Structures are given as structure tokens and as C-alpha cells.
Amino acid sequence: MDPQLLNYYEAIERASADMLSAARAGRWDEVVKLEGACVLLISQLKHAAQEPEKDLAADQAQAQEAARIKSRIMQRILVNDAEIRHLAEPWLQDLEDTLSGKRQTLH
């Protein structure tokens, strides 16, 4: 795997961790902004992955290590995503209640 691709995975993981931190603090505007950054990084990753490998002579041990690193990164991203979704459920329900008129706001 091209080291540039691993850099994209690592950047997505950092953005995911930042999203989780913002979600834990209840900073949902920041979560949304970071989600946009993740979408951009994923798009860039997809584009970079379509380019031919620069080093076709990479040995199998390096390829296996890169696959292990990618797998660990992806697992951490999925764990972060699951926790963000769990933290967002009450916020999304409050938003839905407010928009549907079920919740009265006091001014």
C-alpha cells in the first residue's frame, strides 16, 4: 500500500477522534464541520487509491504490515463513529422534537 494512502487513513482517524472529542463536549457545530472535513478526506483517499501503485516491487511483508495498520485505523474510526452516533441520539431527538413542535421553548 502506498504510504500516501496510509496518510489519508491516519488523517481521517484524527478527524474522527476530533469529532468524538467535540461530541463528548456537546459541540455539535464543530462535529458537523469536522464531518465535512472527513468527507473531503475520504474523497481524496478514493481518488488517490485509483492511481497506480508507485512501487510495484514492494515486498509482501511491507504490504501485510500496511494492511494491518489500515485495519487498526479502520477499527478505531468505526469505534469513534459508533460512540459519536450514541452521543448524538439525544441531541437529534431534541432537535426533532423542537422542529415538530413537541417541545416548547421558553424565552
* CATH fold for the domain made of 3-100: Methane Monooxygenase Hydroxylase; Chain G, domain 1 (1.20.58)
Task: Say whether pTM exceeds 0.85.
Answer: no
Residues 38-85 pLDDT 10s = 999 999 999 998 877 655 555 778 888 888 999 999 999 999 999 999
pLDDT number for residue 103: 62
Locate 87 and state its grid cell: 452521543
Per-residue pLDDT tens for 26-39?
A: 999 999 999 999 99
Q: Where are the domains of the chain?
A: 3-100
Using CA atoms, how far apart are residues 23 and 44, in angstroms rounded to an integer? Answer: 25
